[in-house]
């Protein structure tokens, strides 16, 4: 069946991570660019966590109440009983939860992620082939080189211009496709004035 790829603004949302090992560290590294408020709770926490800016670290065992009002919870411990307890609480309180290495106890999963500027691509094989997900991720990362990022930036700049200067959706779509074709036609992307001149013909 697969998973539907929701894209959610998590900036300043409360994220509680139970566990301080390598897996928790990798999950946080994926999240940090999107600026949630992250709290890590574990009696043992790797020194690498201190390198991550703007996270709260609590050196102790998990206690009831730690996940109250959380937007999402990541459980990354070796204690299956604790993981299940936290999962059940999250289910009762409608909190999004990811239990590492236990897909049956996940309200959401982490995709293989490509993040470059404003472009975010999530890849999932529904847990069936992480190797192939990695293959796709590496190929997409290669595609998002400087040239293609310049094309994306040009298209982003022209979107408000096209909205202002073209009357209907059909004309706007055709104009944006023209801008895209202009960018693709030459490795030296024309400047904005040249593109505007072509659009005005």
Confidence of residue 157 (pLDDT cuts 50, 70, 90): very high
Measured between alpha carbons, how far is residue 184 from residues 46, 50, 124 in Å?
46, 43, 29
The reported pLDDT for the residue numbered 136 is: 96
**CA–CA distance, 44 with 143 (Å, rounded to integer):** 39
* pLDDT per position as a tens digit, 99-140: 998 888 999 988 999 999 999 999 998 878 889 999 999 999
- In this prediction the pTM is 0.84
The reported pLDDT for the residue numbered 25 is: 96
**CA–CA distance, 27 with 110 (Å, rounded to integer):** 8
The Cβ of residue 87 has, within 10 Å, a number of other Cβ atoms equal to 21
Which segments of the chain belong to CATH 3.40.50.720?
1-110
CATH second-level architecture of 1-110?
3-Layer(aba) Sandwich (3.40)
pLDDT value at 194 more than 80: yes
Confidence of residue 2 (pLDDT cuts 50, 70, 90): confident
């Amino acid at each position: 069946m697969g998973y539907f790829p929701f894209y959610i603004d998590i900036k300043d949302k409360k994220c509680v991570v139970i566990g301080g090992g390598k897996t928790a560290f990798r999950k946080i590294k994926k999240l940090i660019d999107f600026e949630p408020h992250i709290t890590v709770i574990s009696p043992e926490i790797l020194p690498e966590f201190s390198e991550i800016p703007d996270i709260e670290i609590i050196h102790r065992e998990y206690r009831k109440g730690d996940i109250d009002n959380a937007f999402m919870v990541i459980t990354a411990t070796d204690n299956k009983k604790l993981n299940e307890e936290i999962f059940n609480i999250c289910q009762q309180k409608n909190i999004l939860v990811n239990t590492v290495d236990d897909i049956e106890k996940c309200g959401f999963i982490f995709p293989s992620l490509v993040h470059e500027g404003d472009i975010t691509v999530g890849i999932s094989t529904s847990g069936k082939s992480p190797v192939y997900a990695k293959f796709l991720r590496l190929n997409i990362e290669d595609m998002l080189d400087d040239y293609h990022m310049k094309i994306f930036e040009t298209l982003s700049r022209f979107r408000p211009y096209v909205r202002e200067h073209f009357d209907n959706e059909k004309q706007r779509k055709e104009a944006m496709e023209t801008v895209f074709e202009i960018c693709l036609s030459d490795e030296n992307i024309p400047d904005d004035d040249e593109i505007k001149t072509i659009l005005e013909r």
